[in-house]
Every structure is written in C-alpha cells, then in structure tokens.
Amino acid sequence: MFLQRITLTDFKNIEKADLEFSSNVNCICGNNGEGKTNLLDAIYYLSMTKCFTVSSDVFTLRDGTNESILYGNYIKDELEEKIAISVRRKGEKVIKRNSKKYARKSDHVGLIPVVVVSPSDTSLINDSGEERRKFMNAILSQTDHLYLRAVQAYNRIISQRNKVLKDNNPSEFLLDTLSDQLSKEASYIYEKRKSLIKSLSEEVTEYYKELSGDRENINMKYSSDLDKGSLKDILQKSKQRDKILQYTSQGIQRDDIIFEMKGFPMKKTASQGQQKSFLIAIKLAQFSFMKKLYGFSPILLLDDVFDKLDIRRVENLIKMVASNGFGQIFITDSNKVRLTSIVKEITSENKFFMVKEGQFE
C-alpha cells in the first residue's frame, strides 16, 4: 500500500496543497518551521486520526480558520482507498472511507499502517512511563482492534473505580465488581504488551548492532504490576491503600519499558547519538513487526532523522533501509544537498519537494 496523492486545506500552516508522491522515496526539504513536519503529520493523521506532534485536534487548524480538511488517495493491490477527514474548531471530526462515514473512529485505525521516526521520540527514553505506554498502544492498536477496545474499556472502568474510591464510604461490592472487570481487560492488555516487547527486543538488538557497528550492548524489557499475578488479586491486596489514596494504585496504567545500555539505564549512560540510534532501531523493529502481521510494508515517515547521527550511523541507516524491503518512505531534511546525496544511494525512484511558508514545489 502507498499514498498516491494528498490534498490538504487549512492544515496547520498549509493553506492549500495537492501533491502526488512516488511509491518509493519522497523527500521534503526546507528550512525549519516552513512545513516539512506538518506534511508528515498530515500523512500520519490520515492513518491514526490524530497528529504525532500535538495532542489536541484544535492545533491542526490553520490560524483564523474553522475547519481543516485532509484527503488521501491510496493504492493497494491496484485498488484505490480514498480517505477523507475533516476537523472543525468546535471539536467535530468526520472520517470517511470511500465516501462512507465510519460508525466508530477507532475502526479506521489499522487500515493504513504507519511508522514515524521523529525528534520527539527522545521522550521514549527521557520522559515518564506514559510515553512508553503510548508507544505500545500505538503499535498494538494498529494491529489488533480487540486490544484498542480493551484499552478503551480499561480506561473507562478505572475512571469509574477511582470515582468510587473518592466516596466517603465506598461500596465494597461495587469496588469488587469493577476490580473483576478491570482484571479481565488488563489480562489481555498485559499479554499483548508482553509479547510485543519480547518480539521487538530481539530485532532492536540486531538493528542497533547494524547502526552502531556492534559497539554497545543494549537491552529492553517490559515491566508491569501484573508480573506479580492477576490484577484481581493485586487490587484485593491494595484495596485499603487505594481507599486512603482515593485512586487505583496498581494496574497496567503503571506499565513501563526498561531501556538499558551496558546494564545501566540508557537515560543516564547513553550519548545523544547512541540514544538516537537506539530510537531508530526501535522504530525499525516496529516496522518489521507490523510488516510481518500485515503482509505488506507500513508507510515509513523519517522526520529529521539525520540530526545528531554521525556519518557512519547515517550510512548504516541508509543501507538498512535500502536492503530490507521498505515500501513507501517520506524523509525530511533542512539540508537538500545532504538528502540528495543520501537518496541517490537508495533508489532512482524518488520525488523531491521544496517547502516555504507552507507552500510546496
């Protein structure tokens, strides 16, 4: 599957854009703040119904406008898939596939798999566990609709349980009922996350070796309260503590991924270049994982990936991309000369776009 054409109206700083892409490599060049990342964000939005750069839909609208419109024409097995999304300032969002509106927005997620590598990925290492849980959710929600619904149900139930815990005299029966419901959803989520990290960790190690020249030993592992047993039993033991705290203190909402280099936390021991290489390795492992499940390549978005990478690591990355059967790729860079010389090493099938103040040529 590849994105053949995109049409944008009032998306971020892009007033109008109508672009046709190569099914292989597409390069977007321009200075910082001109709109390179915004184009990638639009492509991501057409897959995930949200941005990878901002959390609120209101920031997708161009200043002074009330509606943002995105249209993507995809080709899969010589058949067309037409996706249209409109976002209004008052909060209404409409998603259509081949002119038919989705009953549930979540039903669209997973139709067009996408993997993005961006500077914001550093939050995976440096920020709280919430960022790493979002990472797991982003992968699994594209590959398993039951997982997405389980997460949505878990979040709804835990909100209800926390509300009950805030009562002066919370109902024991209601707490136990909600704990049972939480345990059912948590068990599915836990097993899926555990399996995902096990699958990814093996490939991350191999990709990192290729990127770094096998110079550093790295490791990633999944950590969860459910490692100790069923959530039902865990919540029973922590019930009195939860009453005092007035919130649910145990559960998959505390899950995390531990990143290590040479046996120590990567956050404290790895250089910026090592961290960047590790993050790219994770995303390439994600790409490989999703490709195996889908049977075709996700769209790969590489946003400013050459920053903080030495030339050797850049060359290794390009060799990997060129030799591992990657499909459609979008790459942004402020240095046109550098990007041109790099892309020539990948393929002659490419398109270049220059952007200035949201205008593309």
pLDDT tens digits, one per residue of 59-72: 889 999 999 999 99
Burial of residue 348, with CB atoms counted within 10 A of its CB: 0-12 exposed, 13-18 middle, 19 or more buried = exposed
Report yes or no on 135 lying in a domain: yes
Token duo for residue 55: 């959390």
Report yes or no on 223 lying in a domain: yes
Report yes or no on 356 lying in a domain: yes
- Judged by DSSP in three states, 239 sits in helix
Question: Are 259 and 306 contained in the same domain?
Answer: no
- Mean pLDDT along residues 262-282: 87
Report yes or no on 122 lying in a domain: no
Percent of the chain residues past pLDDT 70, beyond the cut = 95
Question: Are 171 and 204 contained in the same domain?
Answer: yes
Report yes or no on 118 lying in a domain: no
Q: Is 255's pLDDT higher than 80?
A: yes
**Domain endpoint, select from 297, 312, 332:** 297
**Domain endpoint, select from 241, 266, 297:** 297
Q: In this structure, what CATH number is given to the domain that contains residue 69?
A: 3.40.50.300
Provide the domain count of the chain. 2
What digits encode the pLDDT tens for the residues 274-327?
888 888 889 889 998 999 989 888 999 989 877 766 666 666 676 666 656 678
Beta-strand relationship, 25-29 and 350-356: parallel
**Angle 189-191-194 (CA atoms, 0-180°, nearest 5)?**
105
What digits encode the pLDDT tens for the residues 71-86?
999 998 889 999 999 9
Cα–Cα distance for residue pair 357/38, rounded to 1 Å: 11
Burial 92-117 (b: 16+ CB within 10 A, else e): eeebeeeeeeeeeebebbbbbbbbbb
Cα–Cα distance for residue pair 26/70, rounded to 1 Å: 19
pLDDT for 322 equals 60
Question: Are 69 and 156 contained in the same domain?
Answer: no
Report yes or no on 139 lying in a domain: yes
Question: Are 248 and 167 contained in the same domain?
Answer: yes
- Fill in the amino acid letter for 249: S
Q: Is 127's pLDDT higher than 80?
A: yes
Question: Are 280 and 329 contained in the same domain?
Answer: no
DSSP 210: H
**Domain endpoint, select from 297, 329, 349:** 297
Residue span of the structural domain in which 46 resides: 1-113+298-361
Report yes or no on 277 lying in a domain: yes
